[in-house]
Amino acid sequence: MRTALALGTALLVVSSVATAQSRAKRSGSTTLRVLDQRIDEIAFEDAPFEQVMEWVAEYSKMNISVRWQQLEDLGVDRDKTISVSAKNLRLSQILWMIMNEAGGTDVKLAYRAQGDLLVMSTEEDLGQEMLVRVYDVSDLLVEIKDFTSAPQIDFQQISQQVSSGSGGGGGGQSIFGNDSSNDDDDDNNDNEDDEDIRELINLIQATISPDSWTTLGGTGTIEAFRNQLVVRNNILVHQHLCGAIEVDK
């Protein structure tokens, strides 16, 4: 009775956004847009894992496939009790909370989206599926220029030109003093950009699933092409890089 009440309450709480969700779905919204929607409030108390996932499917209108055999082999049963409460979080965030609650400290769960299908399994299972994505990192490479070589304005010369009436004519002496040349700026900027993107790549490899990259014996690769990163790795790494990601059909 307690479980049924918890599930019923959850359905009532999210009913306020059901209309907007249905409208978005009819307009061709992808699974990612559904996962990105915020839920005002949700609460599960000792609800069976399978029933919680049924609620996610009912609310999101997605086709959800849980690879139960993979989970049960590692001790995550369908009737594992889930207690989760949250306010004003995205559905994707709530889904991660549910997975963390189900897997506990021993089993890491994950999901991937493909069209209107969401597949849930273990990290190890989904981690075997490799994807290639290109990320534009231009915004991360923008630096504020240090104008140390900016031309100096000679205000005394300006005053003299105004007094003598020679200001404003063509061919006169420039009012900018010591205008140093910037011919090498482009080459220096290119070198700085290369260094910055290399540091970004090193940071990604050191902080996001380090063992998955070839540098530490994995199979994932990351290469720079101008201001873009070409990343080949599993779905979990891509989710860390950009949040929820949809797999190509």
Res 143 pLDDT > 90: no
Tell me the pLDDT tens digit for each residue of 169-185: 444 454 445 555 555 55
For residue 35, what pLDDT is reported? Answer: 87
Q: State the Cα–Cα distance between residues 125 and 77, nearest whole angstrom.
A: 17
Give the residue, 199 or 22, on which the prediction is more confident: 199
Tell me the pLDDT tens digit for each residue of 54-107: 999 999 888 999 999 999 999 999 999 999 999 999 999 999 999 999 999 999
Report residue 69 CA to chain centroid gap.
30
Res 233 pLDDT > 50: yes
For residue 114, what pLDDT is reported? Answer: 73
Q: Structure tokens of 130?
A: 């490799």
Q: State the Cα–Cα distance between residues 179 and 235, nearest whole angstrom.
A: 53
DSSP state of 237: H
Q: Structure tokens of 56?
A: 């996610």
- Which of 52-56, 185-189, 235-239 is predicted with the least confidence, judged by mean pLDDT? 185-189
For residue 229, what pLDDT is reported? Answer: 93
For residue 42, what pLDDT is reported? Answer: 92
Res 20 pLDDT > 80: no
Q: State the Cα–Cα distance between residues 137 and 135, nearest whole angstrom.
A: 6
Nearest to 85 by CA among 38, 35, 44, 40: 44
Nearest to 99 by CA among 129, 74, 117, 135: 74
Res 132 pLDDT > 60: yes
How many other CB atoms are there within 10 angstroms of residue 247's CB atom?
16
**Largest Cα–Cα distance in the chain?**
97
Res 129 pLDDT > 60: yes
Res 164 pLDDT > 50: yes
CATH T-level assignment (fold) for domain 2-124: Phage tail protein beta-alpha-beta fold (3.55.50)
Q: Structure tokens of 57?
A: 């499917």
Q: State the Cα–Cα distance between residues 97 and 152, nearest whole angstrom.
A: 59
φ and ψ of 77, to 5 deg: -90, 165
Name the residue ranges covered by the structural domains of the chain: 2-124, 131-166+178-242
Number of DSSP helices (H) and strands (E) in the chain, helices first: 10, 10
Question: Per-residue pLDDT averaged across 225-229, rounded?
Answer: 90
For residue 76, what pLDDT is reported? Answer: 96
Query: Crossing angle of helices 49-60/15-26, nearest 10°?
Result: 60
Nearest to 43 by CA among 92, 109, 94: 94
**Residue 27 — very low, low, confident or very high, per pLDDT cuts 50/70/90?**
very low
Res 39 pLDDT > 50: yes
Which amino acid belongs to residue 56?
Answer: V
Is pTM, for the whole model, over 0.85?
no
For residue 242, what pLDDT is reported? Answer: 73
Tell me the pLDDT tens digit for each residue of 147-163: 565 566 655 665 666 56
**Residue 168 — very low, low, confident or very high, per pLDDT cuts 50/70/90?**
very low
- Mean pLDDT score of the chain, rounded to an integer? 76
**Residue 17 — very low, low, confident or very high, per pLDDT cuts 50/70/90?**
very low
